[in-house]
Structures are given as C-alpha cells and as structure tokens.
Amino acid sequence: MLHVVYRVGDMDKTIKFYQDAFGMQLLRQRDIPEGKYSNAFLGYGTESEGKYFSIELTYNYGVTSYKMGNAFQGMGLSLPDLRSVSKKVGGAGGAVVSGPEDVEYGPCIIPDEEVGKKTIATVMKVTDPDGYAFEVTERARRDPVSKVCLHVSNLEAAVEFYEKALGMTMFYRRSNVPYDPSIVVGLGYGAADDTTILELRYEYGNDKLDMGEAYGQIAVGTPDVYKAADSITSAGYEIARAPGPVPGIGTKIVAVRDPDGYKIVLVDQEDLEKELQEG
C-alpha cells in the first residue's frame, strides 16, 4: 500500500490542518499547470520502498468543494494522546464529531477469537476542513496511518477481488454491532500492526453507494505492472488502464476497478523510487 488520493478545495488550509492537528509532514508537492491541478503528499515518513503510507491531496484549479458521497468512509490514525489532538483539531479548522471515548469491540470472526472477548479502545472521530472523516485511536504505532476505509455494497465480492486480483491477506473480520451497524474486513500486505490496512465496511440495511466526486483512488506498489496486469486478468477481472508509462512523468502504472468501481492503481516500484529521488 503506497498512498490514497482524494480532492480538496483549499490545498494550503488542508496541509496546515494535517500538520497542526495530526503532526504529519509535507513529504513532497508538485504543480501541473498544463493539467490545471496540484498535488501534495503528507504522512509520517519516507514513501521510499513503501516504508510509510501517504495521503495524496489533489487540488483542481478553481474547484473549492466536492460532493462527498458515502463511499469513501475516511482514514484511520493511531496517535498516542487524543486529548492533545482534540484541542488542536478545532483551532486548525476541523471538527471533533465524537470522543475521545472508550469503545468496546466484540471478538473477530477471523481470526477465531473466543466468544465473549471484549476489546476496549479509546477512539475519537474528527473531520478535516473539507469534511473527510478520521477515526483516531489512542495508541502508538510505527506508521500512524492505520487504515483507509471504503463502504462496499457486496462484502464477499469485494474481499474476493482484493485477495485474488491484488494478492492481499485478510487480517480480520469483525462485526461492529452494537457500536455501529456494520461488519468490517481488514486486508493488506505484511504484518497487520505494521502496515496501513484497507478496511472494507458493509453497513447492514444500506448497500447503496454514492461515489460522490471527492475520492480518487488507492495506489499499490508492484515490481512489474505488466505481470500484475496478467495476474489480474487471469483472476477474471478487467484492466481499467493498460500498463505503461504516465505521460509527462514516465512512471509505469496499471489500473483496475473493484466490483464497486473503486479505482486501484498499481505503480512500478523501481520507477517510483526514481520519481522520489528526482523530487
């Protein structure tokens, strides 16, 4: 997992909010006048070799707001002092929706945890200046960006896609009832506690997705975009963007869409390293 992409109406304001409220670093920034847009990457450490996950903000010239929809459910962060974060959020232009409060979670179905097991977590929900949701959990973590959450209409079809087409591993499957009327599945690469997870959320009684205009895509690294494309088609899924270099940048990518239409871009890891070195 490399980064998530979504659109903002005021780049400078959002960058300052992420820095002041969450303690993120501005990793890199670029302006593309010919495309009439700019990008900024924020996170907690280097993107090189996928060591840290980043958030890529996109600002399209002259567009100050976007229809949010209900598809992109937001981000998860793990930070050690929620009281301090809570004080900073409002002053930086965001809003505290709830918490900090202790939330009780039931056992996971996968892995098969014992019946009756309860997990207590201190959680706070906030929104950034554009209204994007962040679920902030109180704990220290090597990479504080813990998850990207997407609302899906068919959980089983979505899980099958990410496992078969993208080779992800299922880390957990858990019902959030009664805290939240949903069931969630967390998938990704590597170790669950040391990587940013893709969390798929199915809300009971609500399988209608409004994709909105704000959310863009998730980027995943791969050693060979052409082999990745072959693997995806072999798994029975269609390629949305044929493998090859991005005009003007040169980095090779291939794109695919999951059963709900979410876009995933696979990025050549060697090309990305060159892009990072060049600035």
Q: What pLDDT score does 279 carry?
A: 61
Instruction: Work out the pLDDT band at 277, boundaries 50, 70, 90.
Output: confident
Please give the structure tokens belonging to residue 36. Answer: 């009439």
String of DSSP letters for 159-222: HHHHHHTT--EEEEEEE-TTTSSEEEEEEESS-GGGS-EEEEEEETTB-----TTTEEEEEEEE
Mean pLDDT of 13-18: 96
Q: What is the mean pLDDT of the chain?
A: 93
Whether the upstream peptide bond of residue 100 has omega within 30° of 0, thus cis, is yes
Residue 8 has pLDDT above 90, yes or no: yes
Q: What pLDDT score does 104 carry?
A: 81
Query: Is the alpha carbon torsion for 77, 81, 83, 89 positive or negative?
Result: negative
Q: What pLDDT score does 128 carry?
A: 96
* Domain residue limits, the chain: 3-278
pLDDT tens digits along 154-207: 999 999 999 999 999 999 998 888 778 899 999 999 888 889 999 999 999 887
Q: What pLDDT score does 259 carry?
A: 96
pLDDT tens digits along 48-68: 888 999 999 999 999 999 999
CB-based contact 95:134 (threshold 8 Å): no
Mean pLDDT of 90-98: 92
Residue 24 has pLDDT above 80, yes or no: yes
135, 209, 65, 184: CA torsion to nearest 10: 10
Residues 6+ apart with CB under 8 A from 99: 82, 86, 122, 123, 124, 125
Angle among Cα 172, 177, 180 to the nearest 5 degrees reads: 95
Distance CA 10, CA 60 (A): 9
Residue 208 has pLDDT above 90, yes or no: no
Q: What pLDDT score does 82 carry?
A: 93
Q: What pLDDT score does 247 carry?
A: 81
Phi, psi of 202 (to 5 degrees): -105, 125
Please give the structure tokens belonging to residue 209. Answer: 């997705």
Buried b (16+ CB within 10 A) or exposed e, 175-197: bbeeeeebbbbbbbbeeeeebbb
Class of domain 3-278: alpha beta
Residue 94 has pLDDT above 80, yes or no: yes
Q: Helix 11-22 and helix 82-91: axis angle, to 10°?
A: 150
| Selected catalytic residue, list 135, 138, 199, 275 | 135
pLDDT tens digits along 245-256: 988 778 999 999
pTM, 2 dp: 0.93
Distances (CA, A) of 14 to 54, 128, 129, 130, 197: 14, 7, 6, 8, 23
Residue 105 has pLDDT above 90, yes or no: no
Give CA 4 to chain center in angstroms.
5
Question: Active site includes 238?
Answer: no
Residue 113 has pLDDT above 90, yes or no: no
Q: What pLDDT score does 35 carry?
A: 85
Say which range, 72-81, 101-110, 182-191, has the weakest mean pLDDT: 101-110
